[in-house]
Amino acid sequence: MLNIALFGPPGAGKGTQSQFLIDEYNLFYISTGDLLRTEIKNQSKLGKEAQSIIASGGLVSDEIIVQIIEKTITDNPDANGFLFDGFPRTYIQAYILEGLMIKLNTSLNCLISLEVDEEESVKRLLKRGKSSGRTDDNETVIRNRLSEYKEKTLPVLGFYKEKGIYSGVDSSKPIPTVRKNIQKIIVEELSKRLLNIVLFGYPGSGRGSQGKAVAKKYGLEYVATGPMLGEEIEKNTEIGKQIKSIYESGKLVPDEIVVQLIEQKLENSKNVKGFIFKGFPRTLVQSYILDGLLKKHDTALAKIIEIEVPTLELIRRLDERSKTDNCMPYDTSTAKIVKRLQEHETKTVPVIEKYNELHGVVKVDGIASFEEVFEKISFEIENGFKNLR
Ligand code: AMP
C-alpha cells in the first residue's frame, strides 16, 4: 500500500495536487472536509453538529472526525493506498491515524507538507471563493481557519518529523512544479521498497536455475538456504562448524541456524531491489519465520510463484541430472529422489496452500524451454514491481 497525507494550510493546493496523485498512483482519496460537507448536505446528525463549526472556520471535534474517517477506511481495505487531504489536523488525529493504519496492517509512508505563506493562502482562497460556493471561503473565516492551522495543525508536523516521514514542498511555485516535486518524493519512497519473491516448485522443476537468472536480471538477491549452508561449512565459520557436526550426525539443520543465515543475508545485502527465496520456506514453521524476518526489516512478500511440472517429468529430469556433473548427493538413487519429492509434498505443499489463501500463488507451467519459463516468470516479476506501490 502507498499511504500519503497531504498537509498544509487552507489554500496550499492540497485539493489540486490530490487530483494528480489519485490518478497517477490509483489511491483512494479521503478529504475530511469533503466528507463533512457531504454529511452537512445530507443533514445527518454529524453534519448538523459540524455545520456551525465549519461556518466559523474552527476545527470539528476529533470525535466526529474519527467516526467519519474510520468508516471510510475500514470500508475500503483493498485500496491500493490512501491519500489523506486535510487529515490529520490535530495531534490527537495523528494518533488516530496511526491506530487506523495498524488496523489495516499498514502505515503512513509519507507526509508531504505544502508550504505557502499566509497572504498567498488568503489571496488564493478569496479567488476560489468566487466560484467554490463554499461559505467558509470569505476573509473573516479564512483568517480564522489560518489561525486554527497555526495553533492546532502546524504542531502536528513535529510528530512526523520525529518519525522521519515528513517532506516539505514549496507550494508558492506554479502547479506543475509543485506536482513534479511531490512526485520526486513519492518516487524516492517507492524506490526504497523491496520486491520479495518466493519461488516454489518440486525438486527438478527448475527453481534454482530460474531463480538465479531472475535475480541477475532484476537486481534481486538470490537466497537459497541449501548452498548458504554449504558456504558456511566451506568457510569454516562458527555456524559452519555447527552445521558440519549436525550433518555428520545425520540430523536436519535446525531452524535457529537457518534463521541466522537469512537474517545475515537481509542485513548485509545493500542496494538490492529485493530478495528471491528458493528452498525456503520449506515448512509451515519456516513460513512464519520468513514473515517475521521480513516484517522485522520493514518489508513483506510481494510475489509468490510456483513452477509446475508433472511428477513423471520431475523423476525423468532428476534421474538425468544424476548422470551428469551436476549430480547432487541426493540425486544418486531412485529412493532418494522419491524421498525428496515426498518431503516436498508433505511439508512444502501446505505452505504453498497457505500462501495461496493469503496472497495468491502465481502458477507457471514448467513444461517448456528454459527461455520460455524464464519469460513467464519475468512477466510476473515486472508486474510485481508495478504493484509494489
Ligand atoms: P477543508 O475542506 O479541508 O478546507 O476543510 C473545511 C473545514 O472542515 C475546516 O475548516 C474544518 O472546520 C473542517 N475539517 C476538515 N477536516 C478536519 C479535520 N481533520 N479535523 C477537524 N476539522 C476538520
Q: Mapped to the 3 state alphabet, what secondary structure does 189-247 carry?
A: HHHCCCCEEEEEECCCCCHHHHHHHHHHHHCEEEEEHHHHHHHHHHHCCHHHHHHHHHH
Whether residue 307 is predicted with pLDDT greater than 90 in this model: the reply is: yes
Q: What is the mean pLDDT of the chain?
A: 92
Tens-digit pLDDT profile for residues 182-211: 999 998 888 788 999 999 999 999 999 999
The pick from 54, 111, 132, 152 for probing ligand 1's pocket by mutation, whose C-beta has the most ligand atoms within 8 angstroms, reads 54
Span(s) in the chain for CATH 3.40.50.300: 2-27+79-191, 197-386
> How far, in Å, from the CA of 25 to the mean position of ligand 1?
24
Atom 6, ligand 1: residue with shortest CA distance: 33
Instruction: Kindly indicate whether the domain formed by 197-386 is annotated with CATH number 3.40.50.300.
Output: yes
pLDDT of residue 343: 87
Q: Could you tell me the pLDDT band of residue 389, with boundaries at 50, 70 and 90?
A: low
Q: What is the pTM of this model?
A: 0.69
Average pLDDT over residues 66-82: 89
Q: Could you tell me the pLDDT band of residue 339, with boundaries at 50, 70 and 90?
A: confident
Q: How far apart are CA 184 and CA 21, in angstroms?
A: 12
Instruction: State whether the beta carbon of 266 lies less than 6 angstroms from ligand 1.
Output: no
Rg (CA), the chain: 27
CB atoms closer than 10 angstroms to residue 265: 18
Please give the class, per CATH, of domain 2-27+79-191. alpha beta
Instruction: State whether the beta carbon of 10 lies less than 6 angstroms from ligand 1.
Output: yes
Whether residue 221 is predicted with pLDDT greater than 90 in this model: the reply is: yes
The pick from 36, 40, 149 for probing ligand 1's pocket by mutation, whose C-beta has the most ligand atoms within 8 angstroms, reads 36
Q: How far apart are CA 382 and CA 359, in angstroms?
A: 17
Residues above pLDDT 90, as percent of the chain: 72
Q: Which atom of ligand 1 lies closest to the CA of 54?
A: 12
Q: Which of 211, 227, 217, 340 is nearest to 278 (CA)?
A: 211
Backbone angles phi, psi at 203, to 5 degrees: -55, 135
pLDDT of residue 172: 96
Tens-digit pLDDT profile for residues 103-157: 887 889 999 999 999 999 999 999 998 888 888 888 999 999 999 999 999 999 9
- The Cα-based distances of 345 to 267, 321, 325, 350, 366 in angstroms read 32, 21, 27, 8, 17
Beta bridge partners of 221: 275
